[in-house]
């Protein structure tokens, strides 16, 4: 359960630090499907867990969603997440349960980050520092460090960004290290429109934390 909460917190941080609710260009490529792996590292590495996910975006990031597969207590769950109307909607597609979180109420002095247009206000809010360039997946990425507070937890992150798109992030929270890496990028992919629609048959209940 603790790992699930931390994963959902990580997803929230990822959305906050890559998204903007304004209809503005966020990525330097029009569309893509990104296959990712998230490794939740525990002290000693005994209970490390790798969690696969897929990110979809179109219209330079104005449309975006993700699907994550979580295995827990002998069961496998498919988790859908998407921003809509200033809420992060999260659905357990396996259990047909959904929640929605008001991100502005969840994060103190709420702001979002657009790496194509980093304002001084956002840099100051998240203590963002540019740390030079680094190669990842054969791409020249900018390296950033930032700090964000979610539900009283301070999360420190290092993020490698290419074309405004985070390709690797390393987060430290609650004594754990969470590393998310893109394993494959399908640039210019045609995304089915249903990937940017809330799943039918699920009631999204407003809550303080994602499911």
Hey, where are the domains in the chain? 2-206
Please determine, for residue 54, whether its predicted confidence score (pLDDT) is greater than 70: yes
Task: Give pLDDT, residue 30.
Answer: 96
Mapped onto helix, strand or coil, the DSSP state of residue 116 is coil
Taking the mean position of all CA atoms in its chain, how far away is CA 96?
Answer: 21
Q: Residue 12: in which H helix or E strand, if any?
A: helix 2-16
Give CA angle at 152 (147, 157), nearest 5°. 20
pTM equals 0.84
Render pLDDT for 122-174 as a digit per residue (tens, 0 to 9): 898 888 999 999 999 999 999 999 987 766 777 888 999 999 999 999 988 77
Once rounded to an integer, what is the mean pLDDT over residues 1-9?
52
2-206 belongs to CATH 3.40.50.720: no
Q: Is the per-residue pLDDT at 36 higher than 90?
A: yes
- Minimum mean pLDDT among 25-29, 104-108, 185-189: which range? 104-108
Given a contact cutoff of 8 angstroms between Cβ atoms, the answer to whether 116 and 165 are in contact is no
Average pLDDT score, the chain:
83
Nearest Cα residue to 161 out of 19, 2, 27? 27
pLDDT digits (tens, 9 = 90+) for 68-118: 998 877 889 999 999 887 788 999 999 999 999 887 665 555 567 889 988
Indicate the pairing of strand 97-102 with strand 129-136. unpaired
- What was the pLDDT predicted at 70? 87
17: left (phi over 0), alpha (psi -120 to 50) or beta: alpha
| Structure-token match 């939740």, residue found | 40
């Amino acid at each position: 359960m603790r790992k699930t909460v931390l994963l959902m917190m990580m997803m929230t941080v990822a959305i906050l630090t890559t998204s903007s609710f304004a209809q503005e260009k966020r990525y330097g490529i029009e569309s893509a499907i990104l296959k990712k792996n998230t490794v939740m590292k525990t002290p000693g590495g005994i209970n490390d867990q790798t969690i696969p996910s897929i990110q979809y975006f179109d219209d330079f990031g104005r449309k975006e969603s993700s699907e994550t597969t979580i295995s827990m207590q002998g069961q496998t769950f498919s988790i859908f997440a998407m921003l809509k109307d200033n809420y992060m909607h999260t659905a357990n597609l396996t259990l047909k349960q959904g929640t929605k979180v008001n991100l502005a109420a969840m994060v103190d002095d709420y702001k979002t980050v657009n790496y194509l247009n980093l304002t001084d206000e956002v840099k100051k809010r998240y203590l963002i520092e540019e740390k030079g360039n680094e190669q990842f997946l054969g791409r020249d990425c900018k390296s950033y460090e930032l700090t964000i507070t979610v539900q009283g937890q301070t999360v420190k992150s290092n993020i490698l960004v290419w074309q405004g798109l985070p390709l690797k992030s390393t987060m430290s929270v609650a004594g754990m290290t969470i590393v998310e890496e893109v394993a494959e990028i399908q640039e210019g992919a045609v995304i089915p429109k249903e990937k940017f629609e809330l799943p039918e048959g699920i009631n999204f209940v407003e809550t303080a934390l994602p499911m």
